Amino acid sequence: MPSVQLNGYAKVGVQYTTYDSLPGSELAPYFDFSGTYTYLPGSYIQLGLKHTRNATDIAGTSRADIVKDQESTLVYASVNHRISRELTASLLGQYQHGIYSGGSLDGLVDHFLLLGLNVEYRLNQNWALDAGYNFDRLDSDIDGRSFTRNRIYIGASATY
């Protein structure tokens, strides 16, 4: 009998990627695992691990030097804690390791870290106010691509 407090998700396979205007194809493993532990009503911890091929914003320097995509592994964890009926806080940590495929950047690596803190105040079942902070850090083998970024946001959301 499954536990109502512990849930898991798993997807495993392979990805076969072809390119419309480029020669060759790629075969890569794919997996997506996550687990959620609910420790109080409205409060839970989630952990996950995902590996996939994904698009990238790096194109290359010429038609002969095209970066096809990136093979990435993502590890993440989050804690969502209901402080009161109206107030929920969440903490997120995420790390992605991506390897470029194709062109002169083939095999170069990006390391991306995201840390976030969010607070949501629920006005009613349809409206909420949000505020948060995210810290982003990219360390890249590509010259001039690395950065550190701080983001603060506030907003409102509607759910119907």
Q: Enumerate domains of the chain plus CATH numbers.
A: 33-158 (2.40.160)
Query: Which pLDDT score, from 0 to 100, does residue 10 have?
Result: 98
For the beta sheet containing 25-40, the strands, ordered from the edge strand earlier in sequence to the opposite edge, are 6-18, 25-40, 43-54, 69-82, 87-101, 109-122, 127-140, 147-158
Query: Which pLDDT score, from 0 to 100, does residue 114 have?
Result: 98
Is 37 or 104 the better-scoring residue by pLDDT? 37
> pLDDT digit string (tens) for 42-86?
999 999 999 999 988 888 777 778 888 999 999 999 999 999 999
The per-residue DSSP string of 9-62 comes to EEEEEEEEEE-SSSS-EEEEEEEEEEEEEEEETTEEEEEEEEEEEE--S--BSS
20, 21, 26, 31: CA torsion to nearest 10: -50
Give the C-alpha separation, 44 to 104, whole Å: 44
Query: Which pLDDT score, from 0 to 100, does residue 9 have?
Result: 96
Calculate mean pLDDT across residues 117-144.
97
**pTM for the whole thing?**
0.86
